[in-house]
Chain A
Amino acid sequence: MRVSLTVNGRPQEADDVWEGESLLYVLRERLGLPGSKNACEQGECGSCTVRLDGVPVCACLVAAGQAEGRDVVTVEGLADHARQRAEGGGTRGTGGSETGTPLRDAQRWKAEGGDSRTGEGTELSPIQQAFLEAGAVQCGFCTPGLLVMADELLERNPNPADADIREALCGNLCRCTGYEKIMDAVRLAASR
C-alpha cells in the first residue's frame, strides 16, 4: 500500500509498504531516514521515539497505515522544529510550505560544516547542543530518542525538576552513559 504523511514539515509518500509494517520501518527503510534507531522493536528502549501529531511515541509500535495523513517529526527535523518553536512560538503547519526539512537534507543530516564534537558551525537544537557539551553522548544509539523526548519535555515544561526529567526519560534506555550526563544535558538546556 501507499502511505502519505508529513515528515519534518514536508509531505512524503512511501510506496509498497507492507500492511504489517511499522512507522519506524517506513522512516528508516522507505524514506531513508536512519536517525530514529531500531533496537528492540517492542517499545522497551525508546530509541525509535518520534513525535506523531506532536505526541512522543515509539515509532516501532505505530502501524505504517496509522500514520497516514499525520504529522511526524524525527530527530533529523528536531533543529528545525526547535527553531520554529522559538521563532513562532507555535507548531509548524503541515505540508507544502517552504518550511520544514527537505527529505534529501534530512537523509544527509550530520553534524557537518563544523566541528562535530562541539557542534560549532552546525544548526543544532538547544537540546542537541547541550547533549554535546555535557558529554551525554557515547555510542549515540540511544541519543535520537532521548533528544526527541527531552525536547518535548522542555516544550511542555521549560523548568523541569530532576524528578520530571527522570519521569520523562524513563522509557529511554542508555547502555553507555549511566544517565548522569544525560541529566546534566537536560538541566543545561533548561537553564538556557
Chain B
Amino acid sequence: MDFLRPASWEEALAAKAEHPAAVPIAGGTDVMVEINFGHRRPDHLLDLNRIGELAEWESGADSVRLGASVPYAAIMENLRAELPGLALASHTVASPQIRNRGGVGGNLGTASPAGDAHPALLAAGAEVEAESAARGSRRIPIDDFYTGVKRNALAPDELIRAVHIKKADGPQQYSKVGTRNAMVIAVCAFGLALHPATRTVRTGIGSAAPTPVRAKTAEEFLNAALEEDGLWDNGETITPSVAQRFADLCAAACNPIDDVRGTAGYRRRAVGVMARRTLTWTWESYRGTRRTLKGAA
C-alpha cells in the first residue's frame, strides 16, 4: 500500500488521475473501519488532511460553500443559522470524537442510505462540486448524486471539493429514529425544510430506500394544499387531515427493507410519524416568526 499525501488540491487531483483506484481518506471514520477489519486493502490511500481549503467554508448570498472535509463539529458550532437542518443532522452523528473528524464529503463519498447528512442536503437543496484533472469542475445536483446502495455519481478520477448548500430561508428540522440518543446509525431519518421564499417544502428520507430520497409526491401535495388555502400568507395552522395526508405520502415514498436495525413496516410507519412531526414543528415556527415580524412592523 502507498500513502499519498498531496499538499494542495491540484496535487490531489493529479494523484487521483494517476491512480483512479486510490481511496481518498478525510476523517477516516468510514475508511479506517474498513481497513482495520480487512474489508478494504487499497493500493493507495490518498490523504486529504493536508489540504487546508477542504476544511473551510464560505457563506455567500444564497448558499454556503462547505469544504468537503469540514467536520460535523464545526457545522454544529458555526453554521446553525445558515444550515439549521444540516447542523441538527450533524449533531445526531455518532459521538464528539467522530464528529471532530468526520464530515459531509466523507458521508457523500460513502453514500450510505443511512448517512445523516443526506436527508438534510436533500431538504435544503444542494449541489456537489466535483472536480477532475482531466475535465475540470462540475456541479452535481444533490437529487442526481445518489445512484444506488452506497453508490454515487462521482467518476473514478473525481474528488469532491465542496458542497454548495442553499442557506435556510425558513425553518428546517431533522429527525432520526434509533435505539440510543448517541452513537446510533439511523433506523430511518427524515429532514424537512420550509422555503417561504419560493413557497415550497422539501424533504429528505434516510435509511428507508436503497438511496436517500425526497418524497416528491408528498411535497407536491403539500405545496398545492398550502397555496390553495393561502397558508403562506394567512399563517393559519395546517389541518390535521392535510398533515396526515402528507405523512402518508412520505411513508409511501419509502422503499425499505427488513434488516437488523428495523423492519420495512416499522420504517414506513416511523417515516410517516417523523414527517407529520417535523411539518408541525417547522410550520409552528414559521407562524411564530410571521407573528413576530408583524408585531415589529
Contact = CB atoms under 8 A, between A and B. Distances in A.
B272 interface: no
Interface in A1-55: 1, 18-20, 22, 41-44, 46, 49, 55
Contacts of A170: 95-96, 181-183
Contacts of A167: 96, 182
Interface stretch (B1-9, B118-126, B139-147, B258-266): B1-9
Contacts of B96: 56, 149, 167-168, 170-171
A62 B47 contact: no
Given A61-B29, A170-B183, A41 B36 contact: yes
B285 interface: no
Given A18-B1, A170-B182, A41 B97 contact: no
A63 B45 contact: yes
Interface in A48-95: 49, 55-58, 60-63, 65-66, 68
Contacts, number: 87
B49 A66 contact: yes
A168 B73 CA distance: 12
- Among B47, B49, B96, chain A packs the most CB atoms within 10 A around the CB of B96
A40 to B, nearest CB: 9
B35 interface: yes
A65 B37 contact: no
A22 B35 CA distance: 9
B100 A57 contact: yes
A172 to B, nearest CB: 8
Contacts of B182: 167, 170-171
A160 B29 CA distance: 28
Interface residues of A, number: 28
B109 to A, nearest CB: 15
Interface in B40-92: 41, 45, 47, 49
A61 B101 contact: yes
Contacts of B97: 43, 46, 49, 56-58, 149, 171
Contacts of B98: 43, 58, 61, 171
Contact of B36 (A42, A46, A49, A56): A42
B29 A65 contact: no
A1 B33 contact: no
Q: Which bracket fits the contact residues of B? A: 20 to 34
Contact of A62 (B32, B37, B94): B32
Contacts of A63: 3, 25, 28, 31-32, 35, 45, 47
A73 to B, nearest CB: 14
A44 B183 contact: yes
Contacts of A62: 28, 32, 101
Contact of B37 (A42, A46, A66, A149): A42
A172 B96 CA distance: 10
Contacts of A168: 96
Contacts of B3: 1, 19, 63, 65
A66 B69 CA distance: 14
Contacts of B105: none
Interface in B98-115: 98, 100-101
A41 to B, nearest CB: 4
Contacts of B94: 43, 171
Interface in A128-160: 149
- Among A43, A65, A167, A170, chain B packs the most CB atoms within 10 A around the CB of A43
Given A167-B96, A170-B183, A65 B101 contact: no
Nearest to B48: A66
Contacts of A42: 33, 36-37
A167 B73 CA distance: 13
Given A43-B33, A171-B95, A57 B101 contact: yes
A57 B5 CA distance: 20
A167 B181 CA distance: 10
Contacts of A58: 29, 97-98, 101
A19 B45 contact: yes
B27 interface: yes
Q: 6 closest A-B pairs (Cβ-Cβ)? A: A171-B95, A170-B182, A19-B1, A65-B3, A19-B3, A41-B36
5 contacts: A43-B94, A63-B28, A66-B28, A170-B96, A172-B95
Interface of A: 1, 18-20, 22, 41-44, 46, 49, 55-58, 60-63, 65-66, 68, 149, 167-168, 170-172
